Amino acid sequence: MTSYFRSSRFYGIALALLAASGGASAYAEAAHAATPERIVQQIVLIRHGIRSPTASPDALAVYASEPWPAWPVEPGQLTPHGAQLMHSLGSWYRQRLMSEGVTTGACDTPARIKLIADSTPRNRDSAAAMQAGLSPSCARGYFAFAANQPDPLFRGNGDDDADTPVTNPPAMPALTDLQQVLLGCHDESCLGKAAASGKKLLLGTAPAKALKSAGTLSENLMLEYAQDFPAAQVGWGRLDATGVGKIITLHNLQFALAKKTPAAANARGGNMLAHIAATLAAAAGQPPKLPPLAPADTRALILLGHDTDLASQAGLLGLDWHNTTQPDDYPPGGALIFQLVETHGEYGVRLQVALPTLAALRAADVSGAGAMHLATLRMPGCPPSDVCPLAAFQALVKRAVRPGTILAGTGGEPAAQ
């Protein structure tokens, strides 16, 4: 952990006592006074909540020996359990923003927090649930285009085929684990019978083709666990938390090879990163070169996107936040946080990752101790410290974002109805 988190723990007890005795305002003021550093603005890029698989059970049936479990919603939609998770995350971020002095939590400062969601129904529903937890006593909405209207902020150039072709993936031992879950076996005799009955196999298939399917299938099985399906239904009773942690590494690998490369990351996320940088510059008092996503006095901007958005930003900025204790790099509700900090008149950018644990996903509750994995990230080309000088961050963005990726209409989402 960084010195920032160590100091936060030191002041935690005092701040909690102040919050109890003097209210939210005293709590926020004490948090600000505890350090010479001031958090001017933070931008949270967060994935939507737990959803059902985007493919129907019939489409997935060809990979498994038994029928897939029925979900309570149509394919690709946010589940009630997923909405509960996003509400819990909204509460978690509200407490975090108050403790950092970013907001007092009062309803008379609506401009301090802005939430923009992608236009897919699961993102709009996630935004409504998160906003309810973020501002439980305030009548606040979010911003989004009409359902399924393409949003250049989240969709980039809109090319769904922009993924980099995977030609030679490394050894994938988890592929055997996944095949065992899908068929209940993985020996040659079993695979032969499955193929003869029309099943699509992962083992014995070209590695690149197998990885593309494995990335999706492993995530679908993770979602079963996160959705709190009974143990007998998660992977047909063949998958526990440890097993989920093993197979989800296939999803991580597929994203690393297909979505984090410069070409794919630019196609999806170059436009977003450029506008994030412009928004931070405006908050620092600099004339932005692009229209910012929020007014300069906005203290917290939440962008409710997808796992692909997180992967593209990681690729553009040269980030890798994988942790063996948190095997899923892009879980539902996982976030990349950009903090603009000011210390003695100097501005810098800190990057953090905040990921719900698998147990927290299954409980749809991040309020408990250890429910969120937090880490501060280092950016290539920045000094070896927790905060990168704003000028160095801007130079990194300029190098990473290719010409032609900046798109008109970004940040023009209306207030959602």
Query: What distance in Å separates the CA atoms of residue 109 and residue 410, rounded to the nearest whole number?
Result: 25
Angle made by CA atoms 378, 382, 388, in degrees to the nearest 5: 75
Task: Phi first, then psi: give them for residue 184, nearest 5 degrees.
Answer: 85, 5
The predicted structure's pLDDT at residue 287: 93
pLDDT at 128: 97
CB-based contact 376:292 (threshold 8 Å): no
Residues 296 and 111: beta-carbon distance below 8 Å:
no
Confidence (pLDDT) at 109: 61
What pLDDT is recorded for position 42?
A: 96
Q: What pLDDT, on a 0 to 100 scale, did the predictor assign at position 111?
A: 61
The 10 Å Cβ neighbour count of residue 121 is 17
Confidence at residue 112, expressed as pLDDT on a 0 to 100 scale: 85
User: Residue 49 has which token pair?
Assistant: 């909540």
pLDDT score for 14: 40
The amino acid occupying position 179 is: Q
pLDDT number for residue 26 = 47
> What pLDDT shows up at residue 338?
98
Give the pLDDT score at 19. Answer: 42
Q: Check residue 160 and give its pLDDT.
A: 67
CATH number of 36-57+74-159+260-400: 3.40.50.1240
User: Where do the CATH 3.40.50.1240 domains begin and end in the chain?
Assistant: 36-57+74-159+260-400
Rounded average pLDDT per 10-residue block, the chain, 417 residues = 36 40 45 71 98 96 97 98 98 94 74 92 98 89 94 88 88 97 96 96 95 97 98 98 98 97 96 98 95 95 98 98 94 98 97 98 97 96 93 97 92 92
d(CA 294, CA 311): 23
Q: Are 305 and 334 in contact (CB under 8 A)?
A: no
For residue 393, give the nearest of 310, 280, 282 by alpha carbon.
280
The reported pLDDT for the residue numbered 110 is 56
**Which pLDDT value is given to residue 202?**
97
According to the model, what pLDDT value does residue 140 have? Answer: 83
User: How far is it, in rounded angstroms, from Cα 5 to Cα 144?
Assistant: 33
